[in-house]
Chain A
Amino acid sequence: MTSYLIRRVLAGLLTLLVASFLLFLLVAISGNPLANLLANPHISPATIAAARKELGLNQPLLLRYWTWLIHMLQGNFGISTTGQPVGSELGSRLLVTLQLVLPTVILSALIAILIGVVTAVRQYSVLDHAMTAVAYLFYSTPVFVVAIMLKDFLAVDVNNAVGHTILYTIGQNNPGTTGAWSIFVDAVQHTVLPVVALVLITYAGWSRYQRATMLDVLNADYIRLARAKGLSRRRVLYVHALRNALIPVVTVMALDFATILGGTVVTETVFGWTGMGNFLLEYGLEGPVTPDVNVVMAWMMVVATAVIVFNIIADLLYAVLDPRIRLA
């Protein structure tokens, strides 16, 4: 087990390294970071030369990559062209995105498992058909459409009905709120709508998968055997079937954590959150120097690392939960 883990981690690191080089190449060819400075008549050639030196652009590509790599390994993500250190900025933005992603995953998982199991057990019932239809609908809808409808219609209607604002549509909190409880409530009020949007899209696919796996398990020989042995239906269901049906689904969810991380970009944009998505779009690509290499590379590395980490977690979960699979 441990050796497998070590191997996977090493493989992951190697992948990260190669990916980082490709990404660096990509960012380098996508535009001249000095373009805006060059075009400004007020800026003297001396300033441009200084900027070029500071950004290291007069060095060959490989050397620049090497410098960036060394710095990154030391934990120095560099300074963005607005003068802010990228590392600390990234940290706070990651937390903001997590404020969105964690509740999404947990809620989606719970709802998906519940619906998946129930519809599998009550296969072909009216409930099953209804849930299937709903799942298909959400599964086929883009997240930004759902987000827009929630923002433009549900929020206003609910707030009007209640009489004051309980659902917020802008940002992840009201800065300047004081008091731990108020801060918590305020954060929840801001998080409800985007999370609902993401959950509706995410649970749909997972619930179908859970349903399918549950059905497989319920029809499996060893379940029939358990029933034949006279075990109560409930015991059969929960102890044996569910446990086995959860295995692949949990792995799927662990893998998707990383997907959702990347995918919150759209939701953050619709609701104006200052998280990872906004960080890339605003600072990396619309700042005074485009593209801001440090910002873009740091962002890519964080997301790539998250993907690899969660893939490894999924591997482990898979191995741990299913005793039949022994990773050689």
Chain B
Amino acid sequence: MTRVRPIRRIGVIVFTVACAIGVAACGSSGSSSSPSASATAGTVKSGGTLTYALDEDVAGFNVNQADDNEFVLQEILDNVWPSVFVSTPSLKPTLNTNYVTSATVTKTSPQTIVYQINPKATWSDGTPISASDFIYNWQAQSGNPKYKDKGGAAFLPAGTAGYSQIKSVTGSNGGKTVTVVFSSPFGDWQSLFTDLMPAHIAEKVGFNNGFQNFGSAEKVSGGPYEMQSYTAGQDLVEVPNPTWWGAKPKLSKIVFRFILDDNSIPPAMANGEVNMANPALASLSFKDAVDALPNTTTDVTAGLEFQHIDFNEANPYLAKLDVRDAIAAGTNREQMIQRIVAPLTTSIQPLENRIWMPIQPQYTNTSGSYGDFDVAKAKSLLQAAGMTMGSDGYFHPNFGPEKGQDFTLSISTTSGVPVRSQIEQLFQADMKAIGVKITIQNYNANTLFGTVGPKGEFDLIEFAWVQTPYASGNESIYCSYTNASLCGDNWDHYSDPKVDSLFDQALSTINPTTAASLYNQVDAQLWKDMVTLPLFEQPQLVSWSSTYGNVVPNPSNFGVTWNAYAWGLKE
């Protein structure tokens, strides 16, 4: 289909800590050297260009800002804006010693972290990377009205998780030591200070609007690559940063080519116009097409993205738990998997947890019997909710606006996306079998995510979340909708004080095992409340020409470019 463009939003969800806080060596867990050490597999030549097809153009260049918070921009900035901790493909947060030589928790109460910035770390315009960058990035994303953007406006960050709990950030030792003190404990602290923006530039041009168009602000880099040029709708070119102090990157050019129509990508790969692709929603057609290409490696892994259906509890029927449970019981998730994703990769099972994904060790099936496919149970639940089966095969409610008529609900998703449309059609057939009529009403992505979703103008809505390996960001989706500032992502008119208090506990728990179990308790309650129905993980497909080495797909929100500095043409 033309114009496949689901906008992959990076959920502002925070990394899980795989190691215990309080252990001094924790900050330099496992691979304490820069992540590239674990990535290099074979030798590659210097030089060459790689063209990576992105199926979305960027809306702006500040990934920390509410409007620009997109996956494709994150991939572009992986090698330009410093991140203290990087998620490797195994989802382990790894300290990037090119930037920070150590990050230690010196005190647990109040939680205090001390970062030692690498003395060589400098922005490409000569300004050293220092505590002032940390301070600015914190203030901009803290959500604290005390801090103002250029011109006195309030900052508009994509999310404030974690930063809002920092009390102070101070520099010492010439700005190379940063001490962060928290006002309340935050377990996922390693998720902080990713995508550090250059404070001295951001202060001048402004956080909200200063990175809208490509200009000199964007050319300043703190990473192995720098952005050289950007042609809207066409491409963005990165070249090695001449002032980079770490291991020199191999490729002399990385071209991010914007190709919005997925169907154009396989022929472009066949022609060598494009060397790498990572479609937002991989379909069987795409996989078949790239499988047929010679000299191409294709990797399909389930990652941190999952499809789900939300129930709008403002709808008088969906407000009843029995009705929601009935719909869940009537949805044949196995069949969806069989027809939509199983041809891509056979490991996918129905998803039984909204907060943890199967590739994470914390994943537990918290669904009890709520996730079982049972048509008879669905029908009896609908009867219990106050409906009678009509002669035309559909239930007729005995109450509410549709009293006496076919029980009808609408489902919405982004238009023009085949995978989502397929999910809707299978769902529609499933619902017909249990006596519920479904109408399909799709909108373009901007309208769906901008208006329809947030305003609750839907009965059922289907879309995907791309998680980061951290769990605390889930709070804004499931905490009580009455708390508008914190729970802005709760579009379902859902509220459960038990969930709210569990989240509070989990977020301030530092021990990762305890935190994980608390989050699982949250999810178990979410199943009991049947707030949303998780469907299945969406596998990520990355396909690249086999002439390139050291390409390692990464299911976290860093994406496949996480180690682009190590890519090169094979010997």
Contact = CB atoms under 8 A, between A and B. Distances in A.
* Same complex: yes
Interface of A: 31, 35-44, 47, 82-84, 148, 151-152, 155-156, 159-160, 164-165, 167-171, 175-176, 269-272, 274, 278, 281-282, 285-288, 290
Interface string B195-225: 0000000000000010011000000000000
A36 B3 contact: no
A164 B263 CA distance: 21
10 contacts: A39-B450, A43-B156, A155-B267, A156-B270, A169-B267, A175-B234, A176-B255, A269-B2, A282-B260, A287-B446
B234 A270 contact: no
A272 B265 CA distance: 10
A82 B273 contact: no
Interface in B151-177: 153-154, 156-157
- 3 closest A-B pairs (Cβ-Cβ)? A36-B450, A39-B454, A41-B488
Interface string B225-263: 000010111110100000000000000000101011101
A257 to B, nearest CB: 25
B264 A35 contact: no
Contacts of A155: 267, 270-271
Interface string B250-294: 000001010111011001101111100000000000000000000
Contact of A288 (B153, B255, B446): B446
Contact of B3 (A44, A82, A176, A281): A281
A83 B208 CA distance: 13
A82 B153 CA distance: 19
B67 interface: yes
B485 interface: yes
A194 to B, nearest CB: 12
Interface in B302-324: none
Contacts of B445: 286
B108 interface: no
Nearest to B213: A83
Contact of A42 (B257, B274, B488): B488
B64 to A, nearest CB: 12
B273 A83 contact: no
A220 to B, nearest CB: 48
A39 B271 contact: no
A159 B446 contact: no
Nearest to A93: B233
Given A41-B454, A43-B66, A269-B261, 18 more contacts: A31-B447, A40-B454, A42-B488, A43-B156, A44-B154, A82-B212, A82-B213, A84-B213, A151-B264, A155-B270, A169-B268, A169-B271, A169-B273, A175-B234, A176-B255, A272-B260, A282-B233, A288-B67
A168 to B, nearest CB: 6
Given A170-B257, A281-B3, A286-B445, A274 B450 contact: no
Contact of A272 (B157, B264, B271): B264
Contacts of A170: 257, 259, 264, 268, 273-274
Nearest to A157: B270
Contact of A165 (B209, B229, B271, B485): B271
Interface size bucket, B side? 35 or more
A156 B271 contact: yes
Contacts, number: 113
A327 to B, nearest CB: 44
A40 B484 contact: no
Nearest to A36: B450
Interface of B: 2-3, 5, 57, 59, 66-67, 153-154, 156-157, 209, 212-213, 229, 231-235, 237, 255, 257, 259-261, 263-264, 267-268, 270-274, 444-447, 450-451, 453-455, 484-485, 488
B453 to A, nearest CB: 8
Contacts of B453: 39
A39 B451 contact: yes
Contact of A290 (B57, B270, B446): B446
A169 B447 contact: no
Contact of B66 (A40, A82, A84, A165): A40
B233 A159 contact: no
A269 B263 CA distance: 11
A171 B213 contact: no
A36 B261 contact: no
Nearest to B265: A170
A146 to B, nearest CB: 15
Nearest to A144: B2
B231 A175 contact: yes
Contacts of B264: 151, 169-170, 270-272
Contacts of A151: 264, 267
Contacts of B268: 169-170
Contacts of B488: 41-42
Contact of A270 (B2, B209, B455): B2
Contact of B271 (A42, A47, A168, A288): A168
Could you say which of A31, A41, A285 has the most chain B C-beta atoms within 10 Å of its C-beta? A41
Given A40-B66, A40-B454, A290 B233 contact: no
Nearest to A174: B273
A288 B235 CA distance: 20
A176 B237 contact: yes
A282 B446 CA distance: 12
Contacts of B5: 286
B3 A272 contact: no
Contacts of A41: 454, 484-485, 488
Nearest to B490: A41
A270 B261 contact: yes
A151 B232 CA distance: 23
A41 to B, nearest CB: 4
Contacts of A171: 234, 257
A270 B263 CA distance: 9
A39 B448 CA distance: 10
Nearest to A151: B267
A169 to B, nearest CB: 5
Contacts of B485: 41
A267 to B, nearest CB: 12
Contacts of A148: 263
A35 B273 contact: no
Given A82-B59, A288-B67, A35 B447 contact: yes
Could you say which of A31, A38, A170 has the most chain B C-beta atoms within 10 Å of its C-beta? A170
A272 B259 CA distance: 7
Nearest to A168: B273
A72 to B, nearest CB: 23
